[in-house]
Amino acid sequence: MERGGDDEWSAWLDYDGDDGPSLPEGSSVDPEQPSVEEGSGDPEEQTQKNTRGRSKRNDITKMVSEGKKMEIEYNHYGQHWGTGGTAKVTRIGAWVRTNIPLRDITWPKVSQDLKNQLWEHIKVAFDVPDTDKRMTIAKGGDRWKDWKSTLTEGIFTFKDVAPHLLEKPPKLYEKIINLQEWREFVDSRLSPEFGVKRKRAQESRACNLYPHRTGRGGVRMIQEQMEKEFGHQITEFDRSEIWKRSRTKSNGEVEGPTAEVVKR
């Protein structure tokens, strides 16, 4: 088995799950953790390089210290969006990675106390109504699941070509992932039981002929972009246009079966 391509290595070693996530106040994480750069192609011959690391979003930290809160915009569906919405999702992702133990369990089994702490953390920094609690906690589950999926992808990328990289957590997370928890997580992902589950999920995914490419923003981000283009809020979106945009690559290309549908 050959090692993964540049994108796979970058996603594992320099992984920054959000676009510039913030870190909770008081976090001991060093935002300038070095990452590993490819050397001659031999997994054993890696060199260190300094990277920007994750953004601490000092603007939000400063607002909190001054007793201020960032405002959140909502569309007519009750979904948050815009700069405040993006910052909120970023902060949620940073909090769950730092405070929710890395375990092989599902989000419903995470204690309600931790979920309530997440909500209180968000209320301190953002001007949100109490009705937003359920959505905030659900988004926390999404970000936690996405993070574990990214780590799992890295585990399977390197388990044969560079198993030494799995002895410790990824460089960027060495200070927030407990070593014992990490090893237990790796073992759980490499277990026969998880192998069966993973294969079943891969087979199901292979049946999806028209995968979306919206990233973490989802359809909501596409709708926001369309409203910016039109200069006003849209009450009823063209579903065919949403479908097309959600499956178009960032360079404007559509591939495979999707291209055939778009031509119709």
Helix (H, G, I), strand (E, B) or coil at 139: helix
| Rounded Cα gap, residues 140 and 48, in angstroms | 32
Structure confidence at residue 37 (pLDDT): 37
pLDDT higher at 23 or 264 = 264
Whether pLDDT at 147 is above 70: yes
| 62 and 171 together in one domain | yes
Percent of the chain with pLDDT over 70: 76
**Domain span at residue 194?**
58-207
pTM: 0.69
Question: Strand 126-127 relative to strand 73-74: parallel, antiparallel, unpaired?
Answer: unpaired
Whether pLDDT at 109 is above 50: yes
Tell me which residue of 90, 80, 127 sits closest to 221, measured CA to CA.
80
Residue 89 and residue 143 in contact, taking contact as beta carbons nearer than 8 Å: yes
Q: How confident is the model at residue 125 (pLDDT cuts 50, 70, 90)?
A: very high
Indicate whether 136 belongs to any domain: yes
| 234 and 191 together in one domain | no
Q: How confident is the model at residue 110 (pLDDT cuts 50, 70, 90)?
A: very high
Indicate whether 91 belongs to any domain: yes
The chain-wide mean pLDDT, for the chain, equals 76
Residue 30 and residue 175 in contact, taking contact as beta carbons nearer than 8 Å: yes
Indicate whether 167 belongs to any domain: yes
| 253 and 150 together in one domain | no
pLDDT higher at 124 or 206 = 124
Indicate whether 241 belongs to any domain: yes
Q: Among residues 171, 189, 207, which one ends one of the domains?
A: 207
Q: Which of 22-36, 65-79, 119-133, 159-173 has the highest mean pLDDT?
A: 119-133
| 145 and 237 together in one domain | no
Domains contained in the chain, number: 2
| 134 and 237 together in one domain | no
Q: How confident is the model at residue 215 (pLDDT cuts 50, 70, 90)?
A: low
Mean predicted confidence (pLDDT) in 104-110: 90
| 175 and 118 together in one domain | yes
- Per-residue HEC secondary structure of 100-126 comes to CCCCCCCHHHCCHHHHHHHHHHHHHHE
Q: Which residues pair with 80 in a beta bridge?
A: 74
- Tens-digit pLDDT profile for residues 162-171: 898 899 998 8
Structure confidence at residue 112 (pLDDT): 96
| 91 and 196 together in one domain | yes
| Rounded Cα gap, residues 173 and 226, in angstroms | 36
Residue 122 and residue 92 in contact, taking contact as beta carbons nearer than 8 Å: yes
Whether pLDDT at 86 is above 70: yes
Q: Among residues 186, 207, 228, which one ends one of the domains?
A: 207
Q: How confident is the model at residue 41 (pLDDT cuts 50, 70, 90)?
A: very low
| 133 and 224 together in one domain | no
| 155 and 243 together in one domain | no
Indicate whether 40 belongs to any domain: no
Structure confidence at residue 69 (pLDDT): 92
